[in-house]
Amino acid sequence: MSNKTFTMIKPDAVANGHTGKIIDDILQAGFKIEAMKYLQLSRAQAESFYGIHRERPFFKDLVDFMISGPIVAAILEKDNAVESFRTLIGATNPEQAAEGTIRKKYAKSIDANAIHGSDSDANAAIEGSFFFSQFERF
Ligand code: CMP
């Protein structure tokens, strides 16, 4: 699925009223929205989604943050989607994010970093199918 990626607009950006501006940035960058959902994760869901980070020191803070409020999950389509989307959102730590990127504009810290983007085609398929059953066969 090299033309698809998965994203979540995180609780900080939703709570701060940035959802509409971030979706507009995504559309202006040429992505097509294939599916979108507004929901609040349970602790079990957040622990499962971020299971790859279970042994990392920031895991508990990450899960606590991700269940602190609603998120927006989406499947996006564009050529070279994973890499193109990671360029649009900027570095994980907003202090290191390039000017004009979503994290530079809307993120406050490495935890409250406004948005998630899959880091590979394989993870985009796993993460997309976590939220959207129609994408199980990516
Ligand atoms: P995300 O792309 O959603 O994937 C894992 C998240 O963990 C990451 O964004 C950050 O918000 C958060 N995180 C907190 N501390 C770190 C860290 N030291 N390195 C990477 N990610 C971190």
Say how many Å lie between the CA of residue 92 and the centre of ligand 1.
Answer: 6
Strands 4-9 and 115-117: what pairing? antiparallel
| pLDDT at residue 41 in the model | 98
The count of structural domains within the chain is 1
Q: What is the pLDDT of residue 135?
A: 66
Q: Which residues contact 137 (CB under 8 A, 6 or more apart)?
A: none
- pLDDT tens-place values along the chain, 138 residues long: 579 999 999 999 999 999 999 999 999 999 999 999 999 999 999 999 999 999 999 999 999 999 999 999 999 999 999 999 999 999 999 999 999 999 999 999 999 999 999 999 999 999 999 999 876 544
DSSP 61-113: HHHHHHTSS-EEEEEEE-TTHHHHHHHHH--SSGGGPPTTSHHHHH--SSSS-
Catalytic: 53? no
Report which protein residue has its CA nearest ligand 1's atom 2: 116
Whichever domain contains 107, its CATH number is 3.30.70.141
Domain that holds residue 63: 4-136
